[in-house]
Amino acid sequence: MNKAVNSLIPPEFFSARFISFIVLLVLGIYLMTLYPMTKLVTGLTDPFYSPTLLILPLIGLFRLTCYAYRKDYHRHLFNHPVACSIGFRGEFKGRSYTGETRFFRVENLHRWFMYFSVAILPFFYYDIAISIIRYPGYNYVISLGTILLVINTILVTVYTLSCHAIRHLVGGNIDCYSCQHSIRGKIFRGQSRINRHHETYAWLSLSMFFLVDLFIRSVAVWHFLNPVLLHW
């Protein structure tokens, strides 16, 4: 019985560090959704009361199964290992470890979440367009929200397109570029250039994601204003 449970739930999930992380995450989400229902305010779509919330688990799974985040949480949540230096890595012989062979085999489904994430990218651009044309009282507006949405969208696009799964599909799965795939070889080399900084984009876009959503939520409950910067 114990063995069966161990094969389903990795031992890392019982570590104090991981449990405290989950408690804080749940508390944070709960506090953010306490506010009353609002949909579109000053051209910005409230992420907590729109279909965005429904797709959030898939976006979350795309990030959770991403190679950049895998490195970070295996290191910093599970100490497998926390650092490379011997003696400071929090790793020792005899400690239970299954890697990505049992529960974490689910990380191999990253490809599926990547397909989904690419499919929803246009909606980020749609949100920018809405923020320009749906500001009450004006025809077209560039607001602070628009600027933040543009930065957020660029970061999410670069993060998604620099993904390792995309790197594989655009040319990583080919061995002979000169045979008949020279264009894919060029795309592969170009994508590899942004892929090198995938982890940076991952954290930048995630931080921006939180900041922008927090900004919109604040505007929605009138804790913050969305000033008009340009209009015509």
Partner 1 sequence: MDKINLKIYRKDPSVDEKEHYDTFEVPYVDGMVVLDAVRYVEENLDTTLAIRWNCKAAKCGSCSAEINGFPRLMCKTRIDKVGFNITVNPMGAFPLIKDLVTDVTGNWDILRKIPPFTPKELGPDQHFSMKQEDVERSKEFRQCIECFLCQDVCHVVREHYTDYFGPRHIVKAASLDMHPMDTIDRSTFLNKEGGLGYCNITKCCQEVCPEHIVITDNAIIQEKERAVDLTYDPLAMLIKGRRKKEKRVV
Interface contacts to partner 1, rule CB under 8 A: 67, 70-71, 74-75, 80-81, 84-89, 91-93, 95, 97-101, 104-105, 108-112, 115, 164-165, 167-169, 172-173, 175-179, 182, 185, 195-196
Asked if residues 34 and 223 have their Cβ atoms less than 8 Å apart, the reply is: no
**Three state DSSP letters for 46-90:** CHHHCCHHHHHHHHHHHHHCCHHHHHHHHHHCCCCCCCCCCCCCC
CB of 84 to partner 1, least distance (A): 4
Q: Which of residues 45 and 65 has its CB atom nearest to partner 1 in the complex?
A: 65
- Amino acid identity at 179: C
CB of 33 to partner 1, least distance (A): 33
Q: Which of residues 82 and 120 has its CB atom nearest to partner 1 in the complex?
A: 82
Burial class of residue 162 in the structure, from the number of CB atoms within 10 Å of its CB (0-12 exposed, 13-18 middle, 19+ buried): buried
Q: Which of residues 110 and 217 has its CB atom nearest to partner 1 in the complex?
A: 110
Q: Which of residues 63 and 74 has its CB atom nearest to partner 1 in the complex?
A: 74
Q: Which of residues 131 and 191 has its CB atom nearest to partner 1 in the complex?
A: 191
Strands 44-45 and 40-41, bridge-based pairing? antiparallel
222-226 CB contacts, 8 Å cutoff, 24+ apart = 226/41, 226/42, 226/43, 226/44, 226/143, 226/144, 226/145
CB of 136 to partner 1, least distance (A): 44
CB of 145 to partner 1, least distance (A): 36
Within 13 Å of residue 228, how many CA atoms lie on the same side as its CB?
Answer: 15
CB of 158 to partner 1, least distance (A): 17
CB of 64 to partner 1, least distance (A): 13
Neighbour tally for 34: CB within 10 Å: 8
Asked if residues 42 and 226 have their Cβ atoms less than 8 Å apart, the reply is: yes
Q: Which of residues 189 and 231 has its CB atom nearest to partner 1 in the complex?
A: 189
- Taking alpha carbons only, the member of 72, 63, 68, 78 closest to residue 17 is 78
